[in-house]
Amino acid sequence: MTHLDPENSIKIALVWCLAWGQERQPQQEVNPNQLREALSQNQPISEPLQSLFQQVEALLKMPFPEKINDLQNYTQQYPQLWGSQIGLVYGGATKIKQYVFEAAKLPDIRGASALLDRINLIDIPAFFGEYEEKKSVTVEQWLDQEFPDLRFALIPELLVYYKGGNILAFCPAAFVEDLCNAIEKRYTEETLTANSCAVGARFKPLEVRFGLLKNEIKQTFWLEKYNNNKDKDLVKAYFTQEDTDPITAFKNRKSFNELVTHLAIKFNQRRSGNDTEKRPSRRYPPMFETHPFLVRDESDRRLAIHHFITPPEDSSQGLPGDPFLSESLIRKRIVGHIAKREAFQENLPNWFKNLRLNWQPTGVLIKSWVEEFEDYLENNIHLKQKYYGKNNPNLIKEALSLRELGNVNKGFVAYIYADGNNMGGYIQTIQTPQEYQKFSQDIFEATEKSVYKALAQHLMPHQLNNLTDPDNIKRNGEWIHPFEIVTIGGDDVLVIVPANKALEIAKTIGEEFEKILLNKDPDKYKVDKKYDYEPKIIHRYQGQNLPSGSNQCKLSMSTGVLITAENTPIYYAEDLVSQLLKSAKEKAKILKTADKKLDKNAGKYYGGTIDFFTMKSVTMLASSIKEFREQGLTKEVRGQKLQLYAAPYTLYEIGGLLESLKALHEAKFPRSQLYQIRSFLEQGKHTAILNYRYFRVRLKSDAQIPLKEHFEEPWCNAKTNPGNIAPWMYYEEKETDPKKSSEPKKFYETIWRDLVDLYPFSEASETSEVETLHATSLPTE
């Protein structure tokens, strides 16, 4: 198939829907290949489609009518664009974390994520004849059996986007309900227990350009009425957009954007269990067994269908630990094995084949994120050489468990959970379906490539050693990719990496995400110069290469990073890292309104933020991280409020934190004294300052230099005199809530505790040891 640019793709989609008409059989014969060829070669389109094409081109280029009479003229000038209807469908999986993380083991979590990714990225697009690699006969057969005629009404150009976890697509008006039902049923039949939701509606073609319109066109709420009522609360809530003048905000809303918002509202209503017109609520609900006396699977939620006992003479007949598994868990387990290349779709293991299930993981490609990473390296030779070094890429395998990932760094791993900032606000400015399509492609590509580059830049293959468990002792000596990509979906990322490289990877993901978008389309993604920020106000770290505050990207990433032991339950770790992500996003919102919150000259910071938490000295929290920090790490001593942490950080500040960490190693600061100073923090500002200075001056004079240059001067300068207040920083934030005191929040905070927590994961001796092993013990063919 010839892949067209978004502009021509949307033209074909609209022409297809108009030519098909309102019935289940096409009213005009349309050959999409001829349309693609004509557009790609700039050839005229034959009648009778030529007139439709001209109307669609006119629709996409129509000037915005300032008056309701001008809008009415369009309905009379283009009667087919006003009298016809086309379908628009929005849907996808819901409550994803509930499905993915209900299992306790990494292989099952990996399989659940891979199965959802396969449905979203392969199965659903295959409904439309869109294939990444080879045609999927299995999906076509399923669609023909369950929903006859639907496949013939769908073409690839109807897809607006599908790589962000959800799907948005046009379709002929008669097939809206069929397509919604097909999406929901595919998720349920493949996963058994995952929730999904799809909704659709029929719109007039003119509404694709000008948003929702009344049948009696004169009754439509248009610019004249808006100007007379724009100060009313309800109108402001619906139309107002941040940093946008009222007229532009109205035009942004009265566009294709309003149709998508309408479907998003219907989506949330249906997901909550409300009835949908022409479709019963929860068309294909997941089944839950409730019999109290039946054997449950490992998750204690589902009815077990088999006990996998491993015979001593043939280990291929069972599974480690002799588990009870339900069918939904079996599906996750086998897909996880395939995604990790422990099993192959054409040669499934005996333990699965012996079950003789009707459902089989064959016929549809299941590709792992590690394979995608390897493909990325093939297209980026310099990163491939940096990552593999002298290793033979064909001998590097995937990590099979958290214990193998923890083997890289003293039994500790890090969960990195990243999510896009400012996405909702940016989407509100998108007016056309072709912009939606381009935006979706840009975000998915930027997210995926930023993750791959960060992993390749900061990691290297690791040789497993000192594994002692019966199920992995045979893996000693194997070389693995030292990471696990749980999911990359739209602007969401969840990866597990070695603890000692977590912050570097998180920082690079955030920086590369912004760089890729700015390189793609500076005019679209670059922040207006009037919103430049003042780096000396925004960043608490005032080191070298201070950002200019200009050339910001409108979109960025906030990231939560949890460093914890390899045996921390995954569902618990996921909950904590989600809290950290939420905290990082709250910090990003504060900095985006820094001109109101911090200083009127601060400007607006659109960049990324990172919050992290290290579970080494603290192995379990009885409450949330926020409560732990407020109750355990916030003190008031002699009338001064002391915050014994400084997270979250901006991306630039994270770079400064890592520089300060290096300075501690260069200074060879005794570890016992690091912990002593940390304990003195709780005793008050002056006590901590005095003891820090005492321990620092006892170091050799040349060892004190890196501490001054990379810790005291860039972080701890006093506000009112030339000195510094190391290890403290003074922070002031204005209160913007009118219900609270107008007095600004004033307190002292410190990065010292964060440095001490990170210190064991960044020792120079450890790094050199790994690099030496990498250089001298590399596998060859």
Confidence band, pLDDT 50/70/90 cuts, at residue 772: very low
3-state class (DSSP) for residue 482: coil
Selection from 64, 388, 340, 451 nearest residue 226 by Cα: 64
Q: What is the model's pLDDT at position 1?
A: 46
Alpha-carbon gap, residue 568 to 454, rounded angstroms: 25
Structural tokens at position 634: 């916030």
Asked if omega into 547 is within 30° of 0 (cis), the reply is no
517-557 tens-digit pLDDT: 999 999 999 999 888 999 999 999 999 889 999 999 999 99
Give every CB contact of residue 145 below 8 A, 6+ residues apart in sequence: none
CA angle 445, 484, 108 (to 5 degrees): 110
124-164 tens-digit pLDDT: 999 998 876 656 678 888 999 999 999 999 999 999 988 87
331-380 tens-digit pLDDT: 998 998 888 776 566 778 888 888 889 888 876 677 788 989 999 999 99
Which one-letter DSSP state was computed for residue 41? T
667-700 tens-digit pLDDT: 989 999 999 999 999 999 999 999 999 999 999 9
**746: pLDDT strictly greater than 90:** no
Task: Pick 173 or 6 by higher pLDDT.
Answer: 173
Q: What is the model's pLDDT at position 750?
A: 95
Least confident of 69-78, 289-298, 462-471, 652-661: 289-298
Q: How many secondary structure helices (H) and strands (E) does the chain include?
A: 35, 19
**385: pLDDT strictly greater than 80:** yes
Give every CB contact of residue 160 below 8 A, 6+ residues apart in sequence: 10, 168, 169, 170, 433, 436, 437, 440
Mean pLDDT of the chain: 87
3-state class (DSSP) for residue 679: helix
Work out whether strand 159-161 and strand 166-172 pair parallel, antiparallel, or are unpaired: antiparallel
Confidence band, pLDDT 50/70/90 cuts, at residue 36: confident
The stretch 247-269 carries a mean pLDDT of: 93
Alpha-carbon gap, residue 189 to 285, rounded angstroms: 10
**In the block, residue with structure tokens 């590097």:** 396
**781: pLDDT strictly greater than 90:** no
188-243 tens-digit pLDDT: 999 988 999 999 999 999 999 999 999 999 999 999 999 999 889 999 899 988 87
Q: What is the model's pLDDT at position 455?
A: 97
Q: What is the model's pLDDT at position 210?
A: 95
**Residues 419-449: b if buried by 16+ CB within 10 A, e if exposed:** bbbbbeebbbbbbbbbbbbbbbebbbebbbb
**Cα dihedral sign, 519-524-528-532:** negative
**CA R_g for the chain:** 29
Domain range summary for the chain, segments of one domain joined by +: 6-96+126-211+255-271, 369-769
**780: pLDDT strictly greater than 60:** no
Alpha-carbon gap, residue 543 to 89, rounded angstroms: 50
CA angle 327, 329, 334 (to 5 degrees): 95
What pTM was estimated for this model as a whole? Answer: 0.91
**632: pLDDT strictly greater than 80:** yes
Give every CB contact of residue 324 below 8 A, 6+ residues apart in sequence: 295, 296, 297, 298, 304, 306, 307, 308
Q: What is the model's pLDDT at position 495?
A: 95
Alpha-carbon gap, residue 679 to 682, rounded angstroms: 6
**Residues 254-283: b if buried by 16+ CB within 10 A, e if exposed:** bbbbbbbbbbeebbeebbeeeebeebeebb
Structural tokens at position 605: 């910071």
CA 667 to chain centre: 39
Per DSSP (E only), the strands in 362-481 are: 396-398, 412-421, 462-463, 479-481
- Cβ atoms of residues 469 and 511 within 8 Å: no
Q: What is the model's pLDDT at position 295?
A: 84
Alpha-carbon gap, residue 645 to 614, rounded angstroms: 12
Structural tokens at position 252: 């942004």
Least confident of 33-37, 306-310, 434-438, 734-738: 734-738
The amino acid occupying position 11 is K
| Cα dihedral 36→37→43→48 (10° resolution) | -60
Task: Pick 380 or 743 by higher pLDDT.
Answer: 380
CA angle 524, 518, 169 (to 5 degrees): 55
Q: What is the model's pLDDT at position 13?
A: 93
Q: What is the model's pLDDT at position 728?
A: 95
- Cβ atoms of residues 317 and 351 within 8 Å: yes
Confidence band, pLDDT 50/70/90 cuts, at residue 290: low
pLDDT over 70 percentage in the chain: 92
The amino acid occupying position 277 is E
Alpha-carbon gap, residue 506 to 291, rounded angstroms: 45
- Cβ atoms of residues 54 and 45 within 8 Å: no
